Amino acid sequence: MLVVLDTNVLISVLLLLAEGSPPAQLIVHWRQGRFDLLTAAGRLINELRSLAVVVEMLPPVAASAGPYDNYLPSIAAGGQADFFVTGDKADLLALGTHAGTKIVSVRDFITLSRLPS
């Protein structure tokens, strides 16, 4: 069976390997050969690794109504981010701020940071 996972699922798999969680179960089934994963994310991961700052210590966060979204404010808090940019209007943007980090849309970030549009 060939399976494509949404990017948000792949990131959840990487960050939420808590035993028994649905993302962890996916990894177990994949490693057991129950399906083949189709992805172009390897290129993205390599690019991120060479350009991004990796936050090692992630504090536990339960800020979002969506439990699989909490790793994002955790990264922002752990890295003392000024901004957390998201398109998740229902859960994350509704927070406004978390641990001193402004949670904004892409458009608002471009405006606030004075990036050329």
Residue 18 lies in a domain: yes
CB 15 within 8 A of CB 71: yes
Q: Which domain holds residue 96?
A: 67-113
Residue 56 lies in a domain: no
The C-alpha atoms of residue 15 and residue 12 are separated, in whole angstroms, by: 5
pLDDT of residue 38: 72
Total domains in the fold of the chain: 2
- pTM for this model (two decimals): 0.62
pLDDT digits (tens, 9 = 90+) for 36-69: 777 676 777 777 778 888 888 888 888 877 777 7
pLDDT of residue 116: 67
CB 61 within 8 A of CB 70: yes
pLDDT digits (tens, 9 = 90+) for 15-25: 665 566 777 77
pLDDT of residue 115: 67
